[in-house]
């Protein structure tokens, strides 16, 4: 899922300073799971903003709502009347949702979160980056471990000289992805695959080629 973290309150107060009627919009999917932008976080942020406004003597009205998702036009449409009654929208969705809102509505839309990465849970409360969205998945030949998301240098063919004791040289908290790949290949009995050279990556399928689009001919009208 997409993970995100809430921006500092100061920053958000800065965004909404000129406005007195805010629609604070949560999302019930990824950001709920990582406890950043779900219904509960919406409630908590609304309280914090109201208290801050109270303290500075500012008039502030906040309408709280949470959509199932903010990345589909149908869901975003549901809040039309609420947006009409607001001066600005603060979206607690990931960047996708914020932009979907902005595309639809001619009102200022501010992000409440910093969207981080695509990842999964290691355990409750801990998420790590797993996928870089490179557009040409090679997990099948790297034992299910992604060297693009998990190797700091995005190497294709084994660890660099900085890898020591299975740990990346950037920080001891990050395991060396190629070390993990090797161990996995050992576990699967596929160590021969290591000797197959993966050619230089064509980054056009990744962000390097500009914003990407998928069109499914069989689904799109």
Partner 1 sequence: MQKKTKLQSNGSVLVVGGGLGGIRAALDLAEARKDVILVDKAPCIGGLMTQLDRTFPTNNCDLCTVAPFTAKDSRGGHLDMRGLTTVTAVKGKEGNFTVSLMTAPRFVNVEKCTACGECQRKYPECVSFAPGLDPRAPTCMRYPKATPYAYVIDMAKCADKEGLKQCCPVGAIETDALPKVEEAQCGSIILAAGAALFDPSHLDYFGYAAQPDVVTSLEYERILSASGPTGGKLLRPSNGQPPKKVAWIQCVGSRGLQKGAGAYCSSACCMFALKEAMVTRERFDSEIETTIFYMDMRAFGKDYEKYLNRAKEQYGVRLVHSRPHDVLRPVGMDKLQILYTVDEAPKHITEEFDMVVLSTGFKMNEDVKKLAEDLAVELYADGFPKTDCFNAVATSVPGVYVCGTLQGGKDIPETMTQASAASCLAGAKVAVTPRPKAELPAVTPECAGSPRVGVLVTLCDHESTALDTTALVEYAKSIPHVVCAAAFEAACDPSSFDAVKAAILANGVNRVVVAGSSPRYELEKYQAMLAPVGINKYLIEVANIREQAAWVHAGEPAAANAKAKQLVAMAVAGVMAAKPLADHVVPANKNALVVGGGVTGMTAALELAGQGAKVCLVEKTAELGGVARNLVKTIEGGDVQALIADLVEKTTSHPNIKVFTATEIVDHSGQVGLFRTGLSVNGAYKEIEHGATILATGATPNQPQAFLLGENSRVCTQLDLQKVVNEQPKEVKKWKNVVMIQCVGSRDADNPNCSRLCCQSSIKNALAILKENPNARIFVLYRDLRTYGRFEEYYQKARELGVIFVRYSVDNPPKVEAAGHYANVTFTDVIMGRQVVVSADCVGLSTGFVASRKSNEALAKVFGLPLTDDGYFAEMHVKLRPVDMDKAGFFVAGCAHSPKVIAENLTQARAAASRAMTVLANDTLVQEAKFAHVDRARCAACLVCVRACPFDVPQITVDDKGLGRSYIDPVKCHGCGTCAAECPAKAIQLNQFEDVQILSSLDQLLAKVNA
Contacting residues toward partner 1, per CB under 8 A:
28-29, 32-33, 35, 38-41, 43, 54, 66, 124
- Pick between residue 33 and residue 131 the one whose CB is nearest to partner 1: 33
Question: Apex CA 68: angle with CA 65 and CA 71, to 5°?
Answer: 105
Terminal C-alpha separation, the chain: 28
Give least dist CB 161 to partner 1, A: 40
Give least dist CB 92 to partner 1, A: 11
- Pick between residue 112 and residue 134 the one whose CB is nearest to partner 1: 112
- Pick between residue 123 and residue 213 the one whose CB is nearest to partner 1: 123
- Pick between residue 68 and residue 202 the one whose CB is nearest to partner 1: 68
- Alpha-carbon dihedral angle through residues 195, 198, 199, 205, given to the nearest 10 degrees: 180
Give least dist CB 61 to partner 1, A: 13
Measured N-to-C along each axis, helices 39-55 and 9-16 cross at an angle, to the nearest 10 degrees, of 70
Give least dist CB 162 to partner 1, A: 36
Using CA of residue 204, residue 149, residue 117, residue 28, what is the dihedral sign? positive
């Amino acid at each position: 899922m997409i993970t995100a973290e809430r921006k500092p309150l100061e920053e958000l107060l800065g965004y909404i300073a000129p406005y007195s009627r805010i629609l604070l919009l949560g999302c019930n999917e990824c950001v709920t799971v990582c406890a950043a932008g779900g219904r509960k976080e919406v409630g908590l942020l609304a309280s914090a903003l109201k208290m801050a406004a109270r303290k500075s003597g500012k008039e502030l009205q906040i309408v709280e709502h949470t959509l199932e998702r903010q990345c589909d036009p149908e869901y975003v449409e549901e809040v039309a009347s609420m947006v009409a009654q607001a001066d600005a929208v603060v979206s607690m969705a990931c960047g996708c949702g914020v932009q979907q809102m902005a595309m639809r509505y001619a009102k200022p839309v501010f992000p409440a979160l910093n969207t981080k990465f695509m990842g999964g849970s290691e355990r409750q409360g801990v998420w790590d980056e797993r996928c870089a969205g490179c557009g040409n998945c090679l997990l099948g030949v790297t034992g299910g471990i992604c060297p693009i998301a998990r190797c700091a240098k995005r190497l294709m063919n084994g660890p660099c000289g900085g890898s020591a004791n299975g740990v990346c040289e950037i920080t001891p908290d990050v395991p060396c992805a190629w070390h993990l790949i090797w161990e996995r290949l050992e576990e699967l009995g596929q160590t021969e695959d290591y000797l197959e050279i993966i050619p230089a990556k064509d980054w056009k399928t990744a962000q390097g080629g500009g914003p990407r689009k998928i069109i499914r001919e069989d689904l799109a009208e």
